[in-house]
Amino acid sequence: MSGAAVVGAVTAAVTAGASIYSSRQQSKATKKAADQQAKSSAQQLNQQQQEFNKAHQNEVDVASILGAADNGDSSSTMLTGARGVGRDQLTLGGIPSLLGG
């Protein structure tokens, strides 16, 4: 092989190696940028959700609940009624307690 052919082969090998190295570096940089963008997007979504939740906090309308209970429109049980429980409602078949007393 002549000296020019060897130099040409070495140059081609070095060029191919440099091209492969450059391609790998570019691929790593692209993956890193995509990962950073995904992380940033997730943080932005989380921030937007927190702001939405802060702006739309649920508040209990106590006045309407008590008004419905006073009008008898509530779906409460006798233990949770707004007016309490009468003693006659607590008897079990005419027996005032489970102990018979």
Q: For the whole model, what pTM was predicted?
A: 0.42
Residue 40 lies inside a defined structural domain of this protein? yes
Mean pLDDT value across the chain: 78
What's the number of domains the chain is made of?
1
For 3-60, the DSSP string reads HHHHHHHHHHHHHHHHHHHHHHHHHHHHHHHHHHHHHHHHHHHHHHHHHHHHHT----
Q: What is the pLDDT of residues 27-47, one digit of tens each?
A: 999 999 999 999 999 999 999
Residue 94 lies inside a defined structural domain of this protein? no
Low-confidence ranges of the chain (pLDDT < 50): none
Q: Look at residue 76 and give its three-state secondary structure.
A: coil
Residue 13 lies inside a defined structural domain of this protein? yes
Domain extent for 29 = 3-71
